[in-house]
Amino acid sequence: MPNASSLIVRPLSPIAGAEVLGFDGNGPLAESEFAALKNAWHDHCVLVFRDQRFTPDGQENFSARFGALKGHILSQYLLPGYDKTLVLSNKKVNGEPAGLEDAGRYWHSDVSYEDVPPMASLLYALEIPPEGGDTLFANQYAAYENLPGNLKQRIAGLKARHMFNYGKIQAEAGSSRKPLSAEQQAQLAGAVHPVVRTHPETGRKALYVSPGFTVAIEGLPPDESESLLKELWSYATSGDVIYRHRWQPRDAVLWDNRCLMHHATTYPAQYTRHMHRTTIAGTKPF
Ligand code: OGA
Ligand code: MN
């Protein structure tokens, strides 16, 4: 049984990410240990739990310690029998994709096109390719802090519209994605969120606009909106705010969607990458 003293948290980079060793996510977790984990998570935004043996139930139960779990609009990629576990995979089962093959190959914060976007996602690597398939994480507290004062002033109080531009993703070369059902389409109204959000637990400010899902800043003419977004994204995705996660088999990576963007990278098609994701509900950004 794990206890507080057996947990080792080691930073993976100065900007984001820490690995947790000596931890079994399937096992019991005392309130005090959980509090220690949460503090480390708030400090590092990304926690990498090494060498996990998660069953789908184990992953869902551990994730549910953080909050209620969410399914996904692309319900065809949920693990059969589990309505809260999304499969990311390039495997085929009877010629059909076993999971979402091209998730998140653009900078984004998960599901920011909903009014109440998820707090966190936990991605568990069952099979990883020997090369490629890294995940990039960009610290949006740091991105905000790096803005010049006049830019901070300019964006104070601004809001932006977020949309799931499924058609564009689907049209991209090599995507095996199917068109959305009418029911899925109906869930895609989009959402409006502050350009700078305050993390409800740390109280820190973070940029909250992404090339993947943010389509416009409210109340600005289109050309101004676009040039302002591009300027903000240059800070949001600048090399000095990025941690690159190179996966090890059985890593389970918990990231905070309220202070990070992330970006999947490609890998050679002859290799398999197979992962399970759980998604933890959040609160309305402010
Ligand atoms: C996700 C995602 C990145 C990756 O699961 O939300 O963006 O590297 N995944 O698979
Ligand atoms: Mn994602």
Domain map of the chain by residue range?
8-280
Q: Which of 162, 193, 258, 262 is catalytic?
A: 262
Q: How far is the CA of 91 from the centre of ligand 1 (A)?
A: 16
- Confidence category of residue 171, pLDDT binned at 50, 70, 90: low
State whether residue 214 is helix, strand or coil: strand
pLDDT of residue 3: 44
Contact (Cβ atoms closer than 8 angstroms) between residue 46 and residue 20: no
pLDDT of 173 above 60: no
Atom of ligand 1 nearest to the CA of 275: 10
Residue-wise pLDDT for 197-211, tens only, equals 999 999 999 999 999
Residue-wise pLDDT for 69-120, tens only, equals 998 878 889 999 999 999 999 999 888 889 999 889 999 999 999 999 999 9
Residue-wise pLDDT for 214-239, tens only, equals 999 999 999 999 999 999 999 999 99
Residue-wise pLDDT for 51-66, tens only, equals 999 999 999 999 999 9
The CA-based angle 222-226-153, given to 5 degrees, is 105
Q: How far apart are CA 52 and CA 27, in angstroms?
A: 10
Residue-wise pLDDT for 260-283, tens only, equals 999 999 999 999 999 999 999 999
Tell me what the pLDDT averaged over the chain comes to. Answer: 93
- The phi, psi pair for 243, rounded to 5°, reads -110, 130
Active site residue 44: no
Q: How far is the CA of 32 from the centre of ligand 2 (A)?
A: 29
**Cα separation values, 30 from 3, 45, 58, 190, 195, Å:** 8, 21, 16, 39, 37
Q: How far is the CA of 195 from the centre of ligand 2 (A)?
A: 19
- Confidence category of residue 43, pLDDT binned at 50, 70, 90: very high
Residue-wise pLDDT for 121-147, tens only, equals 999 999 999 999 999 999 999 999 999
- Confidence category of residue 4, pLDDT binned at 50, 70, 90: very low
pLDDT of residue 204: 98
The CA-based angle 253-256-260, given to 5 degrees, is 105
Class at the top of the CATH hierarchy for domain 8-280: alpha beta
Active site residue 276: no
**Cα separation values, 164 from 55, 110, 127, 256, Å:** 30, 10, 28, 19
pLDDT of residue 191: 96
Helix/strand number for the chain, H first, E second:
7, 18
pLDDT of 1 above 70: no
The response to whether residue 251 sits with its C-beta less than 6 Å from ligand 1 reads: no
